[in-house]
Structure 1
């Protein structure tokens, strides 16, 4: 691009602008080559380089902000520079609007623009401006054609149930199909499995290899179904040293840094557990459209049970302010029926507290603050002791777990669900070929979808059983494992087996209390426990 010569024949002050759209490995090789060629051209032209602006792995067509490009425009407007060097016009712009705005600035400020591949456009004449605008239109058209080809390719891949590309999914290799990792429980093979997880050597169904990414996905799914929170599962993964897939995250300057993995956060873990690919399903804009061409990490019924829990309207969605109270929101006031909240209560001043000790202790209060106050440590210990005793009884499973429902197995339900999805596809195909009317298509689709929803609901019901199902009920292991349970899991267990009601305390000391014994005034006769029936 060429305009009039610089004022007074002075040497041009040039900005070198380098950009590459896709640099997944972060090697900068493309932009480095551009810079070298532009530097050689600036030296040949006798121009002074005032800045080299680089945007790596950033598309000019995507519409995302380009900080260095905006900085270049500001330098040109302010007079800090009066020339631009780039590899080609496509490095500078890919959208017509950007190009036309750039052309107006060139003419207004008498800016010299040269590209290595196409030389200079002369914007001092109407013909030159027309050629420049035509080239900009062609550049945007080329970008749109590329976008369409990519979209069509992904649509074809989607229809075939194949991996559509993108970053490596956690639990799978970079091809998006091979699991990390499987093992055959019969012959110990670690490769050669089909999309149904069948071992090619002996035909047995594979299991997720302990300690592998797939194994951790399944363990996290089981933990959510068992009543743990996303936060507690993240803590477990962090303790085990399990981190996210390495990604190149966007930096403040708009570029992408080196690949790095991070500790799991509740929001990221939620997305992982909700993705249909873990159940061997493929989705399109949030709708399950069929079985995928890769093996599932978890059975579909288990995935749907986890999904139902995570998407429940009553589920708390914030991921901060970790719970520190076992009974907050669970224990009930015996006077007004409101749930208890965490608070504090005095111990009788500094004299009774002792030197260096706190004058207040954690306590539960009615949410109205008027009816009940109870020492949190003593009440929690009492409730946990009752829970462990109940869960350790030899008849605990009979008392606490619902009876096994009769009906199709989970494998039969999954097969029926896939059949109904295929039927939805065939209905759409029949309508597309004018074999059925629009009314027939709508009626058949509605009927088939209703059946599919019923089947998926049955799958969820079979797997999303009580949090108690994952416990070693009726054994001494309950007492041994209880202290190791996360607070969220303890809360889920207590909520599943009992209702704790705190009644008004009696005046005076508890009968049998011995001064100086170090015990408090906790009176368990003021606590009512109602055992819940299996649900």
Structure 2
């Protein structure tokens, strides 16, 4: 039932506070809006019945504002008959919503007061007209701001310059100066061209060791080698490298003091996939040209990293770390992968000094076929891997041959030329030099060539995890325990395919009754080696 205003009684006011995106978190935060509105309510002699706070919600983009809808419901029901806000722009920036609000206020005898513009007078035609003009002006202001921002970004996009925003990791606040480059010849730390050429001695710059740019390159190398974002995050943590300081949103909707955080895999993925790392400009996910700043890494390396991260077959998980070396990697004879599980040890008499009645096992995902004691199987697989890596001819067997003379084509230059050609088709069509069909045909053909070139760049920059190992030496065995499970798994993937066959009847040869080991029979484990291209070699009869 609608409550009407009793003559002489104080109005029941709702204070409405909204912050669309107060990045400074200081000037007109929710706390200050509420404070000045309460002071105005006390001055007016009004009773505050509710304070509604809308955090990071725009009044212009048309999205639902739950607290604003609650305000309207309270006015319709008569629970409140007055509204207080910082300004009319806090209430609405869309003239349609404003007109509907004013109609409701007039019908329900609602008083509207704002700190910046004063009280609305809806009792006269002139007062209602002023209120509606203010709503139209507010929308016009929002639209003009949007147009200026879009135009500025379009100009920046055409020029390949920075389009604004928070400081990107690896760059200075201007978004275009790498943090930081170093000339290996003369030691210069500034004055480099877009091609990373030193202005003093014309030498090619490198990323200064320990700089943000250097850490970005190292993280890409880590991902290209073993595909692990967690490993890259661990490297950053050990080096004390944190995210760029940001003002994060607080509980009251304001922004706190600048704060940096440890890198998480999701943030690391976004960082490494940025086209700006390779000196490229993107628009709505499409590369549209070269940027006006020096790249942090060669385009080939960025594309190789991108290919790894966007590979549909890449393992992703929300767990903190890999627990099982063989999970999803070893295969059951049925073709399914195996998963980590546990199994009993066969009674209390076999528990042994650990006191555990179970031990880790690998099981077929179907739960119908093979099951093997995990530690014994991993030990066997690792021993075979180390033996293979330590062979004198390991490098010849496992690494691709060096590129022949004449294969050093500058793919980056080819890609840039093709992108320029695409721009040329549009310009020629606009100048009536070619027909629409000629433009479409030329664009389609050139795009295919560009996609092929980009794929070649990714392949050329990618390198096997085996290339980082001292192949053909005994050092591999000593280094292996220091590798995390992601790197160990990447090495196993590059070396072999492991298949588990059904267990044989009886105890395996050499089994000692009373030992803590399970019935592990290496004859049931099939290992097929891979060549440098990752292709399986013929079955190894020795298994």
TM-score, normalization by structure 1: 0.88
Classify the secondary structure of the residue corresponding to 1:417. helix
Match of 1:441 in 2: 439
Contact persistence 1:24–1:57 (CA under 8 A): no
Match of 1:160 in 2: 159
Per the TM alignment, residue 258 of structure 1 is displaced from its structure 2 partner at its CA by 4.2
Give unmatched runs, 5+ long, in structure 2. Answer: 534-543
Match of 1:143 in 2: 142
The superposition leaves residues 184-242 of structure 1 with CA deviations (integer Å, 9 ceiling, x where unpaired) of 22233333333222233333222222333222221221111112322333344344443
Per the TM alignment, residue 17 of structure 1 is displaced from its structure 2 partner at its CA by 4.5
Q: Where does 1:165-184 land on structure 2 (aligned, <5 Å)? A: 165-184=164-183
After TM superposition, the structure 1 stretch with the greater mean CA deviation from structure 2, 284-293 or 384-393, is 384-393
The superposition leaves residues 70-110 of structure 1 with CA deviations (integer Å, 9 ceiling, x where unpaired) of 56545545655433344432232101233123213312332
Alignment CA distance shift 1:42-1:317 (3 Å): same
Per the TM alignment, residue 411 of structure 1 is displaced from its structure 2 partner at its CA by 7.2
The superposition leaves residues 337-371 of structure 1 with CA deviations (integer Å, 9 ceiling, x where unpaired) of 44333333332210111366222211223444454
After TM superposition, the structure 1 stretch with the greater mean CA deviation from structure 2, 141-150 or 11-20, is 11-20
Q: Where does 1:428-467 land on structure 2 (aligned, <5 Å)? A: 428-467=426-465
The superposition leaves residues 370-417 of structure 1 with CA deviations (integer Å, 9 ceiling, x where unpaired) of 543322101101111221222233322111012234476677110111
Classify the secondary structure of the residue corresponding to 1:9. coil
Classify the secondary structure of the residue corresponding to 1:84. strand
In the aligned structure 1, how far is the partner of 2:115 from the partner of 2:338? 73
Match of 2:536 in 1: none
In the aligned structure 1, how far is the partner of 2:164 from the partner of 2:298? 23
Alignment CA distance shift 1:241-1:68 (3 Å): farther
Match of 2:489 in 1: 491
Match of 2:185 in 1: 186
In the aligned structure 1, how far is the partner of 2:409 from the partner of 2:118? 66
Alignment CA distance shift 1:252-1:27 (3 Å): closer
Match of 1:530 in 2: 528
Alignment CA distance shift 1:9-1:345 (3 Å): closer
Match of 2:538 in 1: none
Alignment CA distance shift 1:419-1:47 (3 Å): same
In the aligned structure 1, how far is the partner of 2:260 from the partner of 2:179? 17
Match status 1:308 vs 2:307: yes
In the aligned structure 2, how far is the partner of 1:496 from the partner of 1:181? 34
Paired residue total? 530
After TM superposition, the structure 1 stretch with the greater mean CA deviation from structure 2, 235-244 or 248-257, is 248-257
Alignment CA distance shift 1:82-1:356 (3 Å): same
Match of 1:507 in 2: 505
Classify the secondary structure of the residue corresponding to 2:7. helix
Q: Where does 1:251-266 land on structure 2 (aligned, <5 Å)? A: 251=250, 254-266=253-265
Alignment CA distance shift 1:153-1:345 (3 Å): same
In the aligned structure 2, how far is the partner of 1:492 from the partner of 1:431? 50
In the aligned structure 1, how far is the partner of 2:422 from the partner of 2:36? 56
In the aligned structure 1, how far is the partner of 2:128 from the partner of 2:185? 73
Per the TM alignment, residue 21 of structure 1 is displaced from its structure 2 partner at its CA by 4.8
The superposition leaves residues 478-534 of structure 1 with CA deviations (integer Å, 9 ceiling, x where unpaired) of 223322222122122112111223333343333334445655443333333222122
Match of 1:389 in 2: 387
In the aligned structure 1, how far is the partner of 2:325 from the partner of 2:94? 58
Per the TM alignment, residue 61 of structure 1 is displaced from its structure 2 partner at its CA by 2.0
Give unmatched runs, 5+ long, in structure 1. Answer: none
Alignment CA distance shift 1:523-1:195 (3 Å): same
Q: Where does 1:335-346 land on structure 2 (aligned, <5 Å)? A: 336-346=334-344
In the aligned structure 1, how far is the partner of 2:285 from the partner of 2:440? 20
In the aligned structure 2, how far is the partner of 1:111 from the partner of 1:270? 52
In the aligned structure 2, how far is the partner of 1:140 from the partner of 1:440? 44
CA RMSD of aligned residues (A): 3.1
In the aligned structure 1, how far is the partner of 2:88 from the partner of 2:335? 72
Q: Where does 1:378-417 land on structure 2 (aligned, <5 Å)? A: 378-406=376-404, 412-417=410-415
Alignment CA distance shift 1:518-1:118 (3 Å): closer
Match of 2:351 in 1: 353
In the aligned structure 2, how far is the partner of 1:76 from the partner of 1:370? 65
After TM superposition, the structure 1 stretch with the greater mean CA deviation from structure 2, 65-74 or 232-241, is 65-74
Alignment CA distance shift 1:346-1:10 (3 Å): closer
Match status 1:218 vs 2:224: no
TM-score, normalization by structure 2: 0.87
Match of 2:9 in 1: 10
Contact persistence 1:61–1:94 (CA under 8 A): yes
Classify the secondary structure of the residue corresponding to 2:216. helix
Match of 1:292 in 2: 291
Alignment CA distance shift 1:66-1:408 (3 Å): farther
Q: Where does 1:198-277 land on structure 2 (aligned, <5 Å)? A: 198-251=197-250, 254-277=253-276
